[in-house]
Structure 1
């Protein structure tokens, strides 16, 4: 009975802008989502009536990227991408990746790395999510990408 009571879903989202390119541009090596540079889930936990001390385990459920604009944009400039969690005192850990981006895709569901417990990252004062990307150039137009991360947080509920 407690299995569903002691888990909460926490969503984290961000946006990144990839500038239009010319043949003289350097290739991008990361997708920088501002909201992922300093993640503190204390407020989300407080809204659920729990604290970071109540967290037993945290696992990523999904990480999705979507082209927000332009309307006809795609991820054709991206060959592959990997996402990592990091915090002070912990090693950087791979959390999701996509080894081959399909041509024409406007939305990407990253392959989540199974078994990675993000508890020490989430309970730290600040967690970051960074990326590494292989690209085949830059898009023809400035491209805005949104990222959505869903975390399953297992919390300690008295009596469960």
Structure 2
């Protein structure tokens, strides 16, 4: 009888641990959008510009929606990073040669989080390579975080809206630990 009780206790403990390990990671989505003005003849010669759109990010509401707060965060890593062009119709990323994204927060060094060394021709959406192992917790829990861009290429011939969708894997501590 004791052996059977121990067996059930082990099964319940394993189920509890498996359930808790799934509960303490949440996906948090962030979205930014910026408009790149059409190029003047001089700007067509320039090779660096900023896409913008991710200034002053605060994840407090996203955490609250998940029943957590910034104090509950153990770790944050970028899971995916995608760029698309909502306007004008038919516009591609042919004006870009490369692009890199950086996390910034007061009191912390600027850190690269994603990049694309060569932008494929004809693409209107891009899966940007995530820099593995970059810990974003200090940036996400800071009062204010920004994601900045460094891009090379030339400005597009027409005003272009670029949208970025970022998914973060946030490890929070719960009552399961």
TM-score (norm. length: structure 1): 0.94
Q: Tell whether 2:52 aligns with 1:32.
A: yes
The separation in 2 between residues aligned to 1:40 and 1:104, in whole angstroms, is 34
For each residue in 1:1-60, what CA deviation from the matched residue of structure 2 results, as whole angstroms up to 9, or x when unmatched?
A: 122110111111011111112322263421111xx1101111111111111111000000
The answer for the alignment partner of 1:146 in structure 2 is: 163
Structure with bigger gyration radius: 2
Q: Which runs of 4+ in 1 moved over 3 A?
A: none
Give SS of 1:4's match.
Answer: helix
The separation in 2 between residues aligned to 1:19 and 1:159, in whole angstroms, is 50
Q: Tell whether 2:64 aligns with 1:46.
A: yes
The answer for the alignment partner of 1:109 in structure 2 is: 127
The answer for the alignment partner of 2:138 in structure 1 is: 120
The separation in 2 between residues aligned to 1:71 and 1:96, in whole angstroms, is 26
- Which of 12, 15, 22 lines up with 1:4 in the alignment? 22
TM-score (norm. length: structure 2): 0.85
Give SS of 2:21's match.
Answer: coil
The separation in 1 between residues aligned to 2:110 and 2:156, in whole angstroms, is 29
Give SS of 1:53's match.
Answer: helix
Q: Tell whether 2:20 aligns with 1:14.
A: no
The separation in 2 between residues aligned to 1:17 and 1:159, in whole angstroms, is 44
CA-based RMSD of the aligned residues comes to: 1.1
The separation in 1 between residues aligned to 2:24 and 2:104, in whole angstroms, is 25
The answer for the alignment partner of 1:84 in structure 2 is: 102
Report how far residue 125 of structure 1 moved.
0.5
- Which of 35, 56, 60 lines up with 2:78 in the alignment? 60
Q: Tell whether 2:174 aligns with 1:157.
A: yes
Gaps of 5+ in 2: 1-17
Report how far residue 159 of structure 1 moved.
2.1
The separation in 1 between residues aligned to 2:122 and 2:42, in whole angstroms, is 24
